[in-house]
A and B are shown apart, each in its own frame.
Chain A
Amino acid sequence: MTTSADTAWDPSKPILEIDHLSISFFTRLREIPAVMDFSCKVMAGEAMGLVGESGCGKSTVALAVMRDLGKNGRIVGGTIKFKGRDLTHMGEEELRHIRGSEIAMIYQEPMASLNPAMKIGAQLAEVPMIHQGMSRADAWALARQIVADVRLPDPDRIINAYPHQLSGGQQQRIVIAMALMSKPALLILDEPTTALDVTVEAGIVDLVKDLGKKYGTSMLFISHNLGLVMDVCNRICVMYSGEAVETGAVTEVFEEMRHPYTQALFRSIPLPGADKNARPLISIPGNFPLPHERPKGCNFGPRCDYFQSGRCDAGEIPMFPVPNSDRHETRCAKWQEIDWLAEPAKRAVKQKAPIGKVVLKMEDLKKYYSVSSGAFGGGLKKVVKANETLSFEAREGETLAIVGESGCGKSTFAKVLMGLETATSGSILLFDENVQSTPIQQRNTDTVSSVQMVFQNPFDTLNPSMTVGRQIIRALEIFKHGSSDEDRNRRMLELLDLVKLPRAFADRMPRQLSGGQKQRVGIARAFAGGAKVVVADEPVSALDVSVQAAVTDLLMDIQRENRTTLLFISHDLSIVRYLSDRVMVMYLGHVVEMGTTDQVFQPPYHPYTEALLSAVPIADTKVIRKRIVLEGDIPSAMNPPPGCPFQTRCRWKSQVPGGLCDREMPPVQVLEGGHNIKCHLSTEILQTMEPVIKMAAE
């Protein structure tokens, strides 16, 4: 049956054609429309990017194509045609033949997507065994070959391993391999790299692009990351609140956007050239509308600068085709009147805060953990060197960014500073006081309230059964702030003002708040005791792009006002470049490079920084980026390589004579301007390095 359809299908027609699709979820209370009037076409060999913030319905579209909307979800209108056949009216049995064989999916969290109790090989081999009736031995042989195809080392070992024995990047390669087992015509990728590190992400993206070319697979690529979409896709579809608002070829949409939401999105992400003082980001005002509270007319209307009442909220707005373009369409009633080239009006230029005296000084800080190996607890004791000889100082009013991939020791360092762990050796001087071996329980209230933390995930860090106001007052009580309840209540309301939340929020429960609002509460709590040093551990990575800008700006404003020292831990180099004064790059517990933001983002680089920079996708068509893809995974901190920690993945290793990298830990070279690089490369070679990111000539 499938074969006859294959032969009947004409390759010049679209592989996937979604036409006026509407999807709703049904609860006991009401029908919640998740996607409305969504149309798109994916041609053979084309990669379509689906972009939007969380809750905009992009994943729902993907699941609708798979016809896996769960018990409550239903397609209430429109058609989804795959190779000319309508998927919306297909029976279970027919769908089963298409799933996995002609349409395959790659998921966001590779660990959760693989069966923990089945061997990799068995999970892969299952696909051809079901769809092509292949024998077990043949299927395993094919699995082995595909595993090699997705560039995994030692495929024989891997197909006999269980998922938990692989790293995150390897797991995602397995999920990709699984999707490729039966050479599907369409591949749906749902945020495939969001859970991965940037250097790993770069490898996965390269792989996906190559495989797309090699097998001619069409792709539906779902992401919130515009840079990534530009890297992978030919076409893009921007979604907002259940609707497609703009669609077209990637370069066209990026260069000549014709919808205010797309424009606002680009203005809120930190592209090279943005600067926290001279050219700050512009966040999108207001909040994402809830599905059952959507406004009449244009969904983006209430947040739009060009909103015109009586016109934008009059009724349904259709997609308007943009003339002289490659299928470029926009859902904006006023698109022909808006001057798209005009500079944004309200860019408020801010004063740079002066940098004061040293408040925090670390010297030769070391933190080792000892862990045991072996399945039943016994086995050898091993030492994990989470932090090795960390030395730096941070000044008042300064933003120091700490950058590195997961497992590089940046969170351990934060824990030691906070007093959640004590240092193995070395010293931490906080306001001229030694705190390296004082756990948090023994620190006095002053020290505790002056060093505070903003956590990564605002969803888990607020007590779900306490009102927002109560949580902040609780912090004030602990910091012994104010003498009476009225005092503290007043201070709490001031803090809400500080983080730009309405005072009425004091009585709300955390579940009534959006992610960005929760993070603001987290910030208010951190600043409750007048914190002098704030450790922000990936404070915006769990938030949507439009909210990220607002939260980072808030942090910057509070910092300017209070002259706070901000230690900004992040893996997102774009945001680091935007807001930090100095940057410290960490790899496997070592600081490999440290300097001002300009020094670190310009050559000479440490080879790791160079790779890291090149791995970050940038959503700007004018930027030319050198591709350096790191091979392999980060070595385990339990078993670091001898000599230089980065030598196993370094592309400059051959430039160092005498195999020095294999044997000796590199010395810290101090270049001009106090720029530190921990590398064996000679100064001459470092000087020859080219910048990774270049602006194309206009």
Chain B
Amino acid sequence: MLMFVVRRLGLMILTALALTFIVFFLTNLRPNLEKLARTEGSVRMSEEAVDQWIIQNGHGGSVFVRYGEWMGLMPGWVLTDEKGTVRGRCITATNTPETAPRYCGVLQGDWGFSTFFKKPVLDSLGEKLAATGWLMLAVMLVMVPASLLIGVLSGMREGSRTDRALSTFSIASTATPEYVSGVILVALLASPVVGLSPLLASWGWIEGKTLFLGTATSAIDDITFWNFTLPVMTIALYGIGYIARMTRASMTEVMTAQYIRTARLKGVSFGAVVVKHALRNALIAPFTVIMLQFPWLLNGVVIVETLFNYKGFGWTLVQAAGNNDINLLLGCSVVAVFVVLVTQLISDVGYVFLNPRIRLS
């Protein structure tokens, strides 16, 4: 067990290094840096001045060295400009060239300064990640039970009417992209002029003008049923269909297994056959899929957070990309890589506990 985890961790670190390097390389391409120079310096800078700025701000030289500096594996750059002031990667407003540390990178906890938020990347990322964490938690709480229930119900009697109805629903929901279902949900439930809300309001069933709020901006400070339902539903709907299909496939297979016949011919009632004998075996396959949903959610929230203006991780990613905020983009990618790898590790370990036959090697 320990050996396995250690090996996996080693592999994870290697993967993380490779992935972050690719992102670093792509965000630090020459055109990006020129754009950065013009936004940070002045729009009217000459070509030479741009070159000068790039070198002066430590973006010159080999990409490997710069990656090392960013990672904190190599000493940060120190340069003296034409005015004689010493500037460097690790020299900030709070310290002097003498007191500045030699290394300052991701490993030292210095993730750079976000040009968009005007504060350190780590601070802004932390708070956005927390916001997205709440969203993901809510989605998981809705999505996993609902999809497993649908999958098991449709899989336990293959070809029955229940199966066909639920399968139609899950195929439809997973075939609808989030930007479509989000818009439909908003139109249907969160508009004071169309959909259900005006009807309900005229009947006096709801107090405000709309059933749910079409924007989740206020949920950053206070999550309520009113402002949080729509973004959660939009993400969950897609995932529900997907996981339900997986669960159904796995359940139908288990229901034809011989040990299910054994249980049936032992006189076990149908309900008990499903709950006691089939369920655990049927959940083995969807478990991996559910764990795969975490990284997917982290990226899937991009659309929904933008759509509902919920200032979380996805929204931040969009802003960072749109505003050429290299440090912020890099920070986001580090977080994403980390989440993907950790959930995969958890999924593999969890698999062993769910399935007594499995041996990992």
A positions within 8 Å CB-CB of B: 66, 68, 96-101, 104-105, 107, 109, 112-118, 126-127, 130-131, 162, 164, 175, 178, 372, 374-379
B181 to chain A, nearest CB (A): 36
A372's partner among B264, B357, B361 (CB-CB below 8 A) is B361
Indicate if B59 sits at the interface (CB-CB under 8 A).
Answer: no
How distant is A379 from chain B, measured CB to nearest CB, in Å? Answer: 8
**Interface pairs (22), CB distance under 8 Å:** A96-B268, A97-B267, A99-B267, A100-B267, A104-B266, A107-B261, A107-B262, A113-B258, A113-B259, A113-B261, A114-B259, A116-B355, A117-B281, A117-B354, A118-B276, A126-B268, A130-B266, A162-B356, A164-B356, A376-B4, A376-B5, A376-B361
User: Roughly how many angstroms separate A98 CA and B257 CA in the complex, as a whole number?
Assistant: 22
Known: A96-B269, A126-B268, A175-B262. 18 other contacts (CB 8 A): A97-B267, A98-B267, A100-B265, A100-B266, A104-B266, A116-B259, A117-B280, A117-B355, A127-B267, A130-B272, A131-B267, A164-B357, A178-B262, A372-B361, A374-B359, A376-B2, A377-B7, A377-B359
Docked Cα-Cα span, A375 to B272, in Å, equals 31
Chain B residues with CB below 8 A from A164, complex form? 356-357
Task: Kindly provide the distance from the CB of A174 to the nearest chain B CB, expressed in whole angstroms.
Answer: 11
CB distance from A420 to the nearest CB of B (A): 22
By a CB distance below 8 angstroms, the chain A residues around B1 are 374-376, 378
Bin chain B's interface residue count. 20 to 34
Whether a CB of chain A sits under 8 angstroms from the CB of B29 is no
Known: A164-B356, A377-B3. A113 touches B269 (CB 8 A): no
User: Could you tell me if B258 and A109 are in contact, using CB atoms closer than 8 angstroms?
Assistant: yes
- Contact: B277 with A115, CB < 8 Å? yes
A467→B277 CA distance, assembly (Å)? 42
* CB of A158 to closest CB in B, whole Å: 15
Tell me whether B262 and A114 are in contact (CB under 8 A).
yes
B1, B262, B355, B360 interface centre (most CB from chain A within 10 Å): B262
Q: Cβ of B281: which chain A residues have Cβ within 8 Å of it?
A: 115-117
The answer, yes or no, to whether B352 is at the interface (CB within 8 Å) is yes
Closest 8 CB pairs of A and B: A377-B361, A376-B4, A378-B3, A100-B267, A100-B266, A112-B258, A99-B267, A115-B259
Nearest CB on A from B140, distance (A): 24
Chain B residue nearest to A119 in the complex (CB)? B356
Choice from A96, A99, A112, A376 contacting B360 with Cβ under 8 Å: A376
Listed in ascending order, the chain B residues whose CB lies under 8 Å from chain A are 1-5, 7, 257-259, 261-269, 272, 276-277, 280-281, 352, 354-357, 359-361
Rounded to whole angstroms, the CA-CA distance of A169 and B7 in the bound complex is 37
Q: Complex Cα distance A127/B1, Å?
A: 36
CA distance A115 to B255 in the complex (A): 12
Alpha-carbon distance A352/B193, docked complex (angstroms):
98
Q: Name which residue of chain A comes closest to B7, CB basis.
A: A377
- Which of A118, A162, A372, A379 counts the most B-chain CB atoms under 10 A from its CB? A118
What residue in chain A is nearest B359 (Cβ atoms)?
A: A375
Measured CB to CB, the closest approach of chain B to A116, in angstroms, equals 6
Instruction: Report yes or no: B259 in contact with A99, Cβ–Cβ below 8 A.
Output: no
User: How close is A207's CB to chain B, nearest CB, in angstroms?
Assistant: 19
Q: Contacts A68-B265, A99-B264, A130-B268 known; A116 to B360 CB distance under 8 Å? A: no
User: CA of A175 to CA of B2 in the docked complex: distance in angstroms?
Assistant: 36
Residues of A within 8 A of B269 (CB): 96, 130
Are B357 and A126 within 8 A (Cβ)? no
Instruction: State the CA gap A5–B3 with chains docked (Å).
Output: 61
Nearest CB on A from B351, distance (A): 11
Give the shortest distance, in Å, between B62 (CB) and chain A (any CB): 39
Establish whether residues A377 and B4, one from each chain, have CB atoms under 8 Å apart when the complex forms: yes
Distance from B291 Cβ to chain A, minimum over Cβ atoms (Å): 17
Residue numbers in A under 8 Å from B4 (CB-CB): 376-378
Among A98, A112, A162, A376, max chain B CB count under 10 A is at A376
